[in-house]
Amino acid sequence: MNDLVILRRYGNTVEAHIAGGLLEAAGIHAVVIEAAGFDPTLNESLATVLRVHEADVAEATAVLNASEPSDTDPQPGGDDVVRCPRCELEYCYFGRPRGVSSVPGAALWFALASLVGTTKRWRCTKCGHVWDDPEQGPTIPSQFAADDPRPVFYLKRARPGLGVFWGAAFGLGLFILLGSPPYSVLLIPTVAMVGWLIGRSYKYGVCSEPQCRARLRTRDQRCPQCDKTVAGTISTAREHYTAVAEVRREFTALREREEKHLQQGVPAPPHPRS
């Protein structure tokens, strides 16, 4: 029992049990420990955990990853599926912006926006694209071939919030240390400000693949965790879907050109991959 380690956290106990069942079916001992009692804030914070033996972590991760197809790849669907013209994914709806964010500020913003009344339009929940003509997206999405390198992107992150937190804590410490001359209360916001500046300049990068998000170094050409090829830099998580679609379209176009050349018996131009 002692070497059971946390494999994943879930906000939803049903999902945790489904994952546990998948692992048991694959012969991996898994234990789901549910959040105690009903507490919505706890559930929000992913309090249900799935534990496995330490030795099974790699295999269990692989089993779970295989059961969750990457939502970056478009699913081949019927003609009636509306696809986003920008990222080609089928996660689109016709309506007003949804309060998808759990950030209170964003929820308030969405509440205000829906009061004022925003127009109903086609919206992509993945890349955030908004458009009007449902026919504008592709009927058949571009697909990666089996041997195409799958792209991920260096997703830039910064930590201004953390900087403010430590800055404020440090400022408070100074304030307490210095006794309480009236001006020293200004130390807290000043040092918090400095913390914010430091946090903002402390940039790091993660893998843009939504199911990976491993730390990347700027010189990494492959993600150390998901092993996909780092194909560029983006600054918001949503850009991932658009950027992947661009690479996918590029590969599709290249393949079409190669095929045309083959049919005409002309040697194809050198492929950038080789």
* Closest distance to Zn ion from the beta carbon of 19 (Å): 20
Alpha carbon distance 96, 103 (integer Å)? 18
Residue 223 near Zn ion by CB under 5 A: yes
243 binds Zn ion (CB under 5 A): no
Q: Binding residue for Zn ion (CB under 5 A) from 199, 209, 247, 251?
A: 209
Is residue 151 classed as helix, strand or coil in its secondary structure? strand
CB-nearer residue toward Zn ion: 48 or 72: 72
Interface pick for Zn ion out of 226, 233, 249, 255 (rule CB under 5 A):
226
Q: What six digits make up the tokens of 73?
A: 């790849």
- Quote the CA–CA distance of 43 and 51 in Å, as a whole number: 17
Give the bridge partners for 154, in sequence order.
207, 233
Toward Zn ion, which CB reaches closer, 84 or 191?
84
**Which part of the chain contacts Zn ion (CB under 5 A), choosing from 10-18, 159-167, 169-177, 202-210?**
202-210
C-alpha count within 13 angstroms, C-beta hemisphere, residue 24: 11
Taking the complex as a whole, how short is the minimal distance between the CB of residue 137 and Zn ion, in angstroms? 8
For Zn ion, the closer CB: 47 or 89: 89
Nearer to Zn ion, 61 or 225 (CB): 225
Reduced to 3 states (helix: H, G, I; strand: E, B; else coil), residue 240 is helix
Binding mask 43-82 for Zn ion (x = CB under 5 A): ----------------------------------------
Q: DSSP letter string over 243-271?
A: HHHHHHHHHHHHHHHHHHHHHHTPPPPPP
Q: What is the spatial distance between Cα 269 and Cα 118, in angstroms, rounded to a whole number?
A: 49
Residues in touch with Zn ion (CB under 5 A): 84, 86-87, 124, 126-127, 129, 207, 209, 212, 214, 223, 225-226
